């Protein structure tokens, strides 16, 4: 199990360059930033039981493999969230 911390931002596309050049953010960097495009598919039951339990089942490619990750809602404020992740390799993009 891993603990993940996410910062989610809503930003107009024309402001992305300014955010990348921001000196306050640059000063906090531990290493050179890497930009990656991520693709994930989220699943739930027809009656939304996972969502009601504060969970999400995510299937995403990870290093040329698929992993399924039931994410807990965790805690957060604004765009900052922390939650547990339990990744497991899966053979298909569709849950069984």
Inter-CA distances, 37 with 55, 60, 61, 62, Å: 23, 12, 11, 12
In a domain, 68, yes or no: yes
Residue 80 lies in a domain: yes
Whole-angstrom distance, CA of residue 69 vs CA of residue 30: 27
- What confidence score (pLDDT) does residue 8 get? 76
Residue 2 forms part of a structural domain: yes
Based on the structure, what is the number of domains in the chain? 1
* pLDDT for the residue 47: 96
| Per-residue pLDDT tens over the stretch 71-86 | 665 556 667 777 677 7
Within a domain: residue 15?
A: no
pLDDT confidence of residue 37: 80
The Cα–Cα gap between 69 and 73 comes to: 12
Collect the ranges in the chain with pLDDT lower than 70: 1-2, 62-78, 83
Residue-range definition of the domain harbouring residue 67: 1-7+58-89
pLDDT given at position 90:
80
Within-domain flag for 37: no
């Amino acid at each position: 199990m891993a603990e993940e911390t996410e910062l989610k931002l809503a930003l107009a596309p024309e402001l992305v360059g300014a955010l990348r050049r921001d000196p306050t953010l640059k000063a906090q960097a531990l290493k050179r930033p890497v930009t990656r495009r991520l693709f994930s598919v989220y699943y739930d039951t027809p009656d939304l039981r996972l969502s009601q339990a504060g969970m999400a089942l995510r299937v995403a490619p990870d290093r040329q493999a698929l992993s399924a990750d039931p994410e807990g809602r965790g805690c957060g404020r604004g765009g900052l969230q922390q939650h547990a992740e339990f990744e497991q390799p899966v053979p298909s993009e569709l849950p069984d």
